[in-house]
Amino acid sequence: NPKAVDVLKGVDGGLLPDANGRDGDPSGQKESDGKWQKPRISRKSLMKCCLVKWIIASAAPQGSNSADSDLELSMVRHQPEGLEQLQAQTKFTRKELQSLYRGFKNECPSGLVDEETFKSIYSQFFPQGDATTYAHFLFNAFDMDRNGSIRFEDFVIGLSVLLRGSVTEKLRWAFNLYDINKDGYITKEEMLAIMKSIYDMMGRYTFPCVKDDAAFEHVEKFFQKMDRNRDGVVTIDEFIETCQKDENIMSSMQLFENVI
C-alpha cells in the first residue's frame, strides 16, 4: 500500500499539533545542527499513533473550510456530534477535529469503522508481524457498547484520552484494553494475551530484538506487583495505584499503550 509506505517513512514525526498548539512535522524528520535526519525505525518510533496516521494520510487536501466540514458532518449515514460538542468532549482543537474527520470519512463513508478496518490498518503499519489479534483487542477497547462498529465520536474521544489525557485517564483506558471480557478485573491470562498479541504484531525485526519469552516475563513481573491482595485478579484500583507508584511499570506501560 503506497499510502502506508509513505506514512511509515515519517513514522517518528507528529501529524497533529501537540497539546500546546505547535505544528507537527509531517515529514517525520527532525532538525539537528541544521541538517534533516531520517528517524531510526525502532520499537519506540513504531509505537506512535497508527490510527491518527491512518486517518490523516486519508484526509482530503487542506482546502476545506469550517463550513465545508460542518456540512460534511451532517451528511454521513451515522451522524456524529457537531464539531463544537466534540471539541468540548475532547482535547483536540477544531482544526484537528476537521482533519481527523476528513480522513475518517474518506476511509469510512458510512461514518462507522469495523474490526476488519482495524486489522487492515495494523497489517499495513506492522507488516513484519501478525497484527490480527492485537487489532481485535484494540477494536474491542474502542467498541464500548460491543455492537461491532465504532462511531467517529467514540473513536475520537478515545484518541483524545490516549494522546492528550491525564496519566489516570490513560491508565483507565489501558485497564479497559487488558480487561478483555469487561468484567472489571484483569487476570494473568488476559494480560498475557494482550502482551503476546503486541509482540506478535511487532515481529522479529524491531530494535532492540525481542526474546521469545519476553511477553511471559513482563506479565509475571507486572502481575506480582499489581495483584496486591494475591487473589489472582487485578482490580482497576490496584492497577492504577501500582502503575503510578512504580516507575519501571509506568515506562513499560507507556511503551505498550502507544501501540495505537
Which set of grid coordinates corresponds to residue 122?
495494523
pLDDT at 144: 83
Q: How far is CA 9 from CA 13, 157, 169, 218, 255, in A?
A: 9, 27, 31, 30, 20
Q: Are 156 and 73 in contact (CB under 8 A)?
A: no
pLDDT at 258: 59
pLDDT at 192: 94
pLDDT tens track for 50-85: 888 888 777 755 444 554 555 454 444 444 557 888
pLDDT at 212: 64
257: amino acid identity, one letter: E
CATH superfamily, with its number, for domain 166-259: EF-hand (1.10.238.10)
Which set of grid coordinates corresponds to residue 79?
451522524
pLDDT at 26: 36
Domain layout of the chain by residue ranges: 166-259
| pTM, full prediction | 0.72
**Residue pointed to by grid coordinates 511509515:** 8
Which set of grid coordinates corresponds to residue 199?
509482540
Query: Which of 260, 84, 94, 239 has the alpha carbon at shortest distance from 161?
Result: 260
pLDDT at 84: 83
pLDDT at 114: 94
- The low-confidence residues of the chain, meaning pLDDT below 70, are 1-48, 60-81, 204-212, 252-258
pLDDT at 28: 39
